[in-house]
């Protein structure tokens, strides 16, 4: 699991307590006229060099050492930078304590030391970041001919490579990924599906269904995903949606639910229609969603399957050649039309990591497999996915009506980073306790995760306990106390202005 520092914010999101050093600086700063000028110059020097890092007036602002550690933790320079920052805080405190002794020369030396340290921090930070980024960019796939391509990490939900990810393109038969998962969710595996005339007359790849032929929905799904049967696609659509048009409505609703917001489907097969399109990014999201279904995974991982139809008996061979050629390949679908050219969405798993590459608009099959292979190799060779935090981890604890409650993480948190990176993560919890009673599993707050000072994800925190409402007698006492407090406050507000008025009149008389 990745290293995670946890900051516990209050319910109002107040900042962490200030350090002792920062407190001394703010409370003991000399106020005499003869000391203001050097201090001002020293502040200006530090602030000028630290401003590019968004440190908000840096060392002389009201910030704790943890703040600076979080800001400057970069790729192997963590310990050195932290040591410098802590040293600077110590030097500030020492300077303020001894400055009244008139040690102006020491103050000038301090100013030069602070400036030098700030320059070192700048150089170390930028050098480290640029080195890792340059090494990473050198290995990034180049020269892809695809009109659109992405590489997606299923654990972290991150896109590791993008080339025209949101350009609307014709998907061809990778459309069938959505057709299949929708049928699995809405249909009965063993239900008998009758072939209509429309299904029988479909062009392109087929499993040669005859008019009125009956097959189970399960059989048709294998024919759909292995042999890319367009007749199977229409038969499934009519069975699930009542008509192709109504099934297309269901497809588009499901796409939006998944997050594929640049997708519009018209056919269940992917045969060309000018109004039938998607994007590489959307297809990655749809593919990842489908791969959550174990039955779907089993279908798309099947290499061959005997087929016995009414007029056609054969062995279905999965058209996704990556399944046979790429180490760890787990699915999922290929496609082709004259307008779309070659398209593919392919998944592969090594260890706990599973990646999905989507490549669209490539001229021929060997080329599209080559480009998909480049993307998958890049993802496995250049990145590592770390588990930042686990489902059920306690981020904060509090007491409610005498019941101890732990705010626990609702789901696992993963983050994909370059292999060379030594990035650390910081968690900041925000508790927002609901009014009692509430149950175990109810939301009691959120947690923000930061990577190098940038928020990367926000997750829910859930209660690990049932919390009952206060007994009626206790609730009545609390209500009474609140009423008395409110009454006293009103009385003070009414009486104090009158007393102040009388005092003013008395003072004027005197």
Q: Are 225 and 156 in contact (CB under 8 A)?
A: no
Helices and strands in the chain: count of H runs, count of E runs = 15, 17
225 vs 434: CA distance, rounded Å: 47
Tell me, yes or no, if 173 is annotated catalytic: yes
Do 267 and 273 meet the contact criterion of CB atoms below 8 Å apart? yes
Smallest CA-to-CA distance from 374 within 362, 359, 394 is with 359
- Other CB atoms within a 10 A radius of the CB of residue 246 amount to 13
Q: Which residue stretches of 227-264 are H helix?
A: 230-241, 244-258
CA atoms within 13 A on the CB side of 198: 14
Please check if 63 is assigned to a binding site: no
Answer yes or no: are the C-beta atoms of 230 and 203 closer than 8 Å.
yes
Contacts of 293 (CB under 8 A, 6+ apart): 181, 184, 185
The verdict on whether 64 is a catalytic residue reads no
Query: Could you give the CA distance from residue 396 to residue 405 in angstroms, rounded to a whole number?
Result: 9
399: which strand partners?
404
Among 156, 228, 288, 463, the active-site one is 228
> Are the beta carbons of 4 and 393 closer than 8 angstroms?
no
**Closest of 423, 326, 426, 331 to residue 383, by C-alpha:** 423
In whole angstroms, give the CA distance from residue 388 to residue 414: 5
Q: Respond yes or no: is residue 387 known to be catalytic.
A: no
Distances, alpha carbon 251 to alpha carbons 237, 265, 315, in Å:
10, 7, 29
Residue of 176, 254, 386, 424 marked catalytic:
176
Strands 304-308 and 214-216: unpaired
Rg (CA), the chain: 32
Sequence-separated (6 or more) residues with CB below 8 Å from residue 122: 49, 52, 53
DSSP assignments along 426-453, one per residue: EEEEEE-PPPSPB-TT-EEEEEEEEETT
Distance of CA 219 to the CA centre of its chain: 37
Place of tokens 């779309």: 340
CA–CA distance, 257 with 221 (Å, rounded to integer): 22
Question: 64 and 18 in contact (C-beta within 8 Å)?
Answer: yes
Pair type for strands 4-8 and 425-431? parallel
Distance CA 138, CA 238 (A): 50
Pick the closest to residue 238 from 207, 210, 269 (CA basis): 269
Is residue 332 reached through a cis peptide bond, with omega within 30 degrees of 0 on the bond before it? yes
Angle, CA 63 vertex, CA 62 and CA 66 arms, to 5°: 165
Q: Which of 405, 193, 221 has its CA nearest to residue 296?
A: 221
Write out the binding residues for substrate: 333
Q: What positions carry a catalytic annotation?
A: 173, 176, 228
């Amino acid at each position: 699991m990745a290293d995670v520092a946890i900051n516990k914010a209050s319910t109002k999101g107040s900042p962490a307590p200030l350090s002792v050093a920062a407190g001394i600086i703010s409370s003991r700063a000399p106020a005499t006229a003869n000391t203001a000028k050097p201090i001002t110059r020293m502040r200006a020097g530090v602030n000028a060099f630290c401003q590019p890092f968004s440190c908000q007036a840096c060392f002389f602002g009201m910030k704790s050492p943890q703040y600076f550690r979080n800001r400057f933790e970069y790729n192997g320079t963590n310990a050195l930078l932290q040591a410098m920052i802590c040293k600077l805080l110590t030097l500030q405190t020492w300077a303020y304590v001894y400055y009244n002794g008139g040690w102006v020369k020491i103050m000038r030396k301090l100013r030069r030391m602070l400036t030098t340290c700030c320059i070192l921090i700048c150089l170390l930070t930028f050098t480290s970041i640029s080195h890792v980024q340059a090494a990473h960019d050198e290995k990034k796939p180049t020269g892809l001919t695809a009109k659109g391509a992405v590489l997606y990490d299923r654990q972290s939900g991150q896109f590791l490579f993008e080339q025209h990810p949101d350009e609307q393109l014709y998907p061809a038969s990778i459309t069938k990924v959505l057709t299949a998962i929708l049928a699995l969710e809405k249909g009965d595996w063993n239900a008998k599906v009758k072939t209509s005339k429309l299904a029988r007359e479909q062009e392109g790849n087929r499993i040669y269904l005859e008019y009125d032929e009956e097959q189970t929905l399960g059989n048709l799904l294998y024919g759909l995903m292995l042999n890319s049967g367009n007749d199977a696609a229409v038969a499934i659509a009519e069975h699930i949606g009542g008509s192709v048009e109504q099934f297309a409505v269901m497809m588009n609703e499901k796409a939006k639910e998944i997050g594929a917001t640049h997708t519009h489907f018209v056919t269940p097969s992917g045969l060309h229609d000018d109004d039938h399109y998607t994007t590489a990014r959307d297809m990655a999201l749809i593919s990842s969603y489908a791969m959550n279904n174990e039955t779907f995974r089993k279908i798309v991982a099947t290499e061959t399957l005997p087929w016995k139809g009414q007029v056609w008996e054969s062995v279905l061979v999965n058209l996704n050649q990556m399944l046979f050629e790429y180490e760890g390949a787990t699915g999922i679908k290929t496609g082709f039309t004259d307008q779309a050219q070659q398209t593919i969405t392919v998944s592969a798993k090594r260890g706990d990591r599973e990646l999905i590459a989507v490549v669209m608009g490539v001229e021929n099959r060997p080329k599209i497999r080559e480009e998909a292979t480049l993307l998958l190799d890049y993802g496995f060779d250049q990145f590592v996915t770390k588990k930042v935090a686990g489902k059920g981890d306690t981020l904060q604890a509090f007491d409610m009506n005498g019941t101890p409650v732990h705010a626990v993480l609702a789901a696992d948190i993963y983050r994909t980073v370059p292999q060379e990176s030594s990035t650390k993560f910081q968690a900041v919890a925000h508790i927002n306790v609901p009014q009692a009673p509430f149950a175990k599993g109810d939301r009691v707050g959120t947690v923000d995760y930061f990577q190098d000072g940038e928020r990367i994800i926000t997750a829910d925190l859930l209660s690990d306990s049932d919390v009952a409402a206060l007994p009626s007698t206790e609730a009545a006492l609390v209500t009474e106390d609140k009423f008395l407090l409110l009454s006293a406050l009103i009385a003070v507000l009414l009486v104090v202005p009158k007393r102040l008025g009388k005092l003013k009149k008395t003072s004027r008389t005197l």
